[in-house]
Structure 1
Amino acid sequence: MKTQQYHHILVPVDGSKEAELAFKKAVAVAKRNGADTELQLLHVVDTRAFQNISSFDSSMVEQVTKTAKKTLDEYIDYAKEQGLNKVSYTIEYGSPKTIIARDVPAKMHADLIMIGATGLNAVERILIGSVTEFVTRTAICDVMVVRTDLNNKPIALPKK
């Protein structure tokens, strides 16, 4: 029986521990899938979060983008240290749900999205909805939700 080969892995990252674990596991999966596997990191700046701020100015978005670039550059360095050659990132602006589930996967021909499990509790998921939950329901490719650490032990989510 032939195992599934993934060639274009998308990893949404947001600075959370869950996203970092998804990234590190994606690096391992990419290594196992061979040298031609592409790892694409994605950070989405949720511009809706800024719409309710009366003193909104572009410097806020610039600061968020600068912080994201720093983290993404560190992730790229880590992936290259692990032997990956085809690793890159993109920063998008808008609604994370549709950008992660549909827009970027279609653009990059993703065949796998590796995403961290949500840290939201049940009430928060009902009120605002989980990006991870939306992606698992509506993505245009396979989705792997990372719920364990690098030793496949359950991760302890922060207490709410």
Structure 2
Amino acid sequence: MLQQYKHILVPVDGSYEAELAFKKAVAVAKRNDADLHLVHVVDTRAFQNFSSLDTSMVEQVTETAKKTLDKYVADAKADGLDKIDYAIEYGAPKTIIGDVPLGNDTDLIMIGATGLNAVGRLFIGSVTEYVTRTAVCDVIVVRTDLDNQPAKAAHRAE
């Protein structure tokens, strides 16, 4: 019997790789008649040194994330996927993304190979690496575009 996924989680951060993961997840969700849950984590650790600006900066980042997520939802619905929602969470991305599957019956995480935070990868390791190592469900690391071309080569061609 083939594995059929029902609850797919896609962490998105605005990066090209996250967008590829989203696009592939839409296709997988449609094939499996699954629901798709997007999550964006506002890394509040980045705001710790700006105590007087905390609230307005976090609100601005949240508003940008909401616009991006609304666009993803509209794109998925235009592509025929009805069962899609999203959440904006606050904290350390590794911890949040690692905890989401436990409360959402997630059976698949589709995540981009890299994200926006190169400095964070250097010092604390990548979110993708952490998720693949600690997830309680299957994880697909998306490295290619919809034509299965390497993501970096496709991105440079644009």
The 8 Å contact of residues 10 and 37 in structure 2, kept in 1 or not, is answered as: yes
Partner of residue 156, structure 1: 152
1:154 and 1:70, CA in 2 relative to 1: closer, same or farther beyond 3 A?
same
**TM-score normalised by L of structure 1:** 0.89
Gap change, CA 1:42 and 1:122, over 3 Å in 2: closer
Aligned to 1:71: 68
For residues 73 and 117 of structure 1, the distance between their equivalents in structure 2, rounded to whole angstroms, comes to 23
The aligned runs of 1:39-118 (5 Å cut-off) are: 39-101=36-98, 103-118=99-114
Q: Which residue identity is paired with 1:27?
A: V
Partners of 1:111 and 1:73 lie apart in 2 by 23
Q: What corresponds to 1:134 in structure 2?
A: 130
Higher helix content, 1 or 2: 2
Structure 2 residue ranges without an equivalent (≥5): none
Distance in 2 (alpha carbons) for counterparts of 1:10 and 1:121: 20
Deviation at 1:155, TM superposition (A): 1.3
Segment of structure 1 superposing worse, 119-128 or 91-100: 119-128
Alignment correspondent of 2:2: 3
Shift in CA distance, 86/116, structure 1 to aligned 2, threshold 3 Å: same
**Whole-angstrom CA distance in 1 between matches of 2:14 and 2:86:** 14
C-alpha distance in 1, partners of 2:121/2:100? 23
Structure 1 gaps of 5+ residues are none
Q: Give the direction of change, closer, same or farther, for the CA distance of 1:122–1:88 in structure 2 (3 Å limit).
A: closer
> CA RMSD of the aligned region, Å?
2.1
Q: Which residue of 2 aligns with 1:20?
A: 19
Q: Structure 2: which amino acid aligns with 1:10?
A: L
8 A Cα contact 1:120 1:130, kept in partner: no
Distance change >3 Å, CA 119–CA 95, structure 1 → 2: closer
